[in-house]
Structure 1
Amino acid sequence: MAMYLPLGAGRYEATQHTQGPWDPGQQHLGPVTALLVHEIERTPGLPLAKLAVDVFAPVPVGEVTVRTEVIRDGKRVQCVAASLSAGGRELVRGTAWRIRHGQSPATPAADAPAPVPPRTPVHSSSWLAQGFGYGKAMDWRFVKGSASEAGPATAWGRVTVPLVEGEEITPMERLAVFADSGNGISSTLDFGSYLFVNVDLTISLFRAPVGEWICLDAATTIGPSGRGLTRSTIFDEIGEVGSATQTLFVAPRSTP
């Protein structure tokens, strides 16, 4: 089963593979971001260079609708907005900058971390082992740190199910699915005691990704006033492609 079942005219039914770790009835932002990219890529235009996603409310695991609009058109630079709604309410909005493909002198970029290593068992107490759909739909390979170890981490990820039923997933969609996992793999607080939910995701790329595997080299900093910031360098199997940032809402979990 795919993450989303198409219903026609920008409408999709989310499956269990989109479930996030905070609430089984709410989607992880990774699949949501990839679905925005899916609709943006269906809008004729230039290659995607930056995507800023803002979350206004949690996205339920259910029917959603995505609408796109070209805000600024042009032959060299375009801006496209994508809005995801459910039940008649806008829940997530993405703004994409697209830049024409041209020739430019490339500067050196970082090599990819160590090649994708053999699977490392995920510790039963980690956030990945909580039984949520998105975690089980991804193949996780840690190079540095682990799912049960607090602090900075480097991990490869590969989505193992289609994004949209009946359609081949694109490299950009693969990157978008995984880019929102930086705060999870580099968490500095106990998952069972604290919420550290991102209210946004910004992806900036200096070249297009290739291949199935995406790697995040991520670190999270928590401030003293209930906010945090995750910064991730993004790699494909060739090398560095860009970066991602997430602004976090941080709070103790509610007492039962």
Structure 2
Amino acid sequence: MFYEPLGDDRYASTVHTTGPWSPLTQHLGPPSALMVREMERLPARAPMVIARVTVEILGPVPVAELSVTASVDRPGRAVELLSASLSSDGRVVARARAWRIVRSDTRQVAADVHERLAPPSSGRVLTRPEGWVSGYLDIMEWRALSGSLAEPGPAVVWARQGVPLVGDEEPSGLQRLLTVADSGNGLSNRLDPRKWLFINTDLTVHVYREPVGEWVAMAAATAIGPEGVGTATTVLHDLDGPVGHGAQALLVRPQ
């Protein structure tokens, strides 16, 4: 598991949450999914679905005990605005907001704008690059259709989490999506991490179809401007096809 539930909205972070840069801090994927889980648990007046999630990173998320709270900030019959907060030792380290929209039947007019990808079985197995910290990267299964964790440039990679998010609980499709969506920046980076920082300040995910199954694919690319700012964009897929898009603003500067 990524998190062991302790009761009263408290969770113990396991070693599987550890990010690639430090054994003391987490990859943003599991914390993002944990906040989404808390927002999904908020009661709704009618059947609704989350259409957009934005995660704001306020500081490193330590591999330690965390507390999570969530609320409905703007209730409504058709559209609601939700929020969640993630804290460690009394300090807020991340916040999330999400728009929740009432369900309706639009199957007759449903349309995608991207092609379906080849399945994970078509990809090559990726392993953690030398010098990167174990934890999150090792507990995930990675299958690359193009690019890799260690190659600069765009990448198309399938990922599947090897443990549940919380305890032995089955994650929702959106939780699985958020567990991997923050990896778009790392997969599509253009720079040598020994010489450059390329840190995302946020993650926004728009979803137009609820993800299904265990596998999530990221077709990711990064653009870098001339003044220290970049943008990583990711088309997100499940085995049935595209489900949405992710975007991250990047701080880019020499080490």
Query: Which of the five TM-score ranges fits, normalised by the shorter chain?
Result: over 0.9
The amino acid of 2:39's aligned partner reads: I
> 1:64 pairs with 58, 63, 66, which one?
66
1:125-144 correspondence to structure 2 within 5 Å: 126=129, 130-144=132-146
Structure 1 portions without partners, runs of 5+: none
Verify: 1:42 aligned to 2:44, yes or no.
Answer: no
Contact 2:155 / 2:220 at 8 angstroms: preserved in 1?
Answer: yes
Matched with 1:185 is 187
Contact 2:21 / 2:133 at 8 angstroms: preserved in 1?
Answer: no
Verify: 1:107 aligned to 2:106, yes or no.
Answer: no
Contact 2:125 / 2:142 at 8 angstroms: preserved in 1?
Answer: no
**C-alpha root-mean-square deviation of aligned residues, in Å?**
1.5
**For the residues of structure 2 that align with 1:178 and 1:12, how far apart are their CA atoms?**
20
**For the residues of structure 2 that align with 1:42 and 1:97, how far apart are their CA atoms?**
14
Partner deviation per Cα, 1:29-88 (whole Å, 9 max, x = no partner): 100101011111111122111001101111100011111011011121111100001111
The amino acid of 2:83's aligned partner reads: A
Q: Which moved more, 1:143-152 or 1:30-39?
A: 143-152
**For the residues of structure 2 that align with 1:25 and 1:211, how far apart are their CA atoms?**
31
Matched with 2:75 is 73
Matched with 2:31 is 32
SS of corresponding position for 1:209: coil
**For the residues of structure 1 that align with 2:234 and 2:72, how far apart are their CA atoms?**
28
SS of corresponding position for 1:176: helix
- Displacement of 1:192 in angstroms is 2.0
- Displacement of 1:103 in angstroms is 1.6
**For the residues of structure 2 that align with 1:51 and 1:147, how far apart are their CA atoms?**
25
Verify: 1:196 aligned to 2:210, yes or no.
Answer: no
SS of corresponding position for 1:117: helix
**For the residues of structure 2 that align with 1:180 and 1:231, how far apart are their CA atoms?**
10
> 1:122 pairs with 118, 126, 150, which one?
126
- Displacement of 1:123 in angstroms is 6.4
Contact 1:230 / 1:248 at 8 angstroms: preserved in 2?
Answer: yes
Matched with 2:96 is 94
**For the residues of structure 1 that align with 2:19 and 2:247, how far apart are their CA atoms?**
19
**For the residues of structure 1 that align with 2:220 and 2:170, how far apart are their CA atoms?**
28
SS of corresponding position for 1:38: helix
Matched with 2:252 is 250
- Displacement of 1:21 in angstroms is 1.4
Verify: 1:235 aligned to 2:237, yes or no.
Answer: yes
**For the residues of structure 1 that align with 2:20 and 2:132, how far apart are their CA atoms?**
7
SS of corresponding position for 2:29: helix
- Displacement of 1:95 in angstroms is 0.2
- Displacement of 1:131 in angstroms is 3.4
| Number of residue pairs aligned between Structure 1 and Structure 2 | 250
Specify whether residues 123 and 89 from structure 1 end up closer, same or farther in structure 2 by C-alpha distance, changes over 3 A only. Answer: closer
SS of corresponding position for 1:53: strand
Partner deviation per Cα, 1:197-255 (whole Å, 9 max, x = no partner): 111000001111111101010001122222211000111111111100001112223xx
Contact 1:50 / 1:97 at 8 angstroms: preserved in 2?
Answer: yes
Contact 2:232 / 2:250 at 8 angstroms: preserved in 1?
Answer: yes
Contact 2:207 / 2:245 at 8 angstroms: preserved in 1?
Answer: yes
**For the residues of structure 1 that align with 2:182 and 2:146, how far apart are their CA atoms?**
18
Contact 2:125 / 2:144 at 8 angstroms: preserved in 1?
Answer: no
Partner deviation per Cα, 1:104-149 (whole Å, 9 max, x = no partner): 221244232111125624367x37x723211011100000112221
Partner deviation per Cα, 1:137-195 (whole Å, 9 max, x = no partner): 11000001122211001000110111101311111111010100001111100122222
- Displacement of 1:102 in angstroms is 0.1
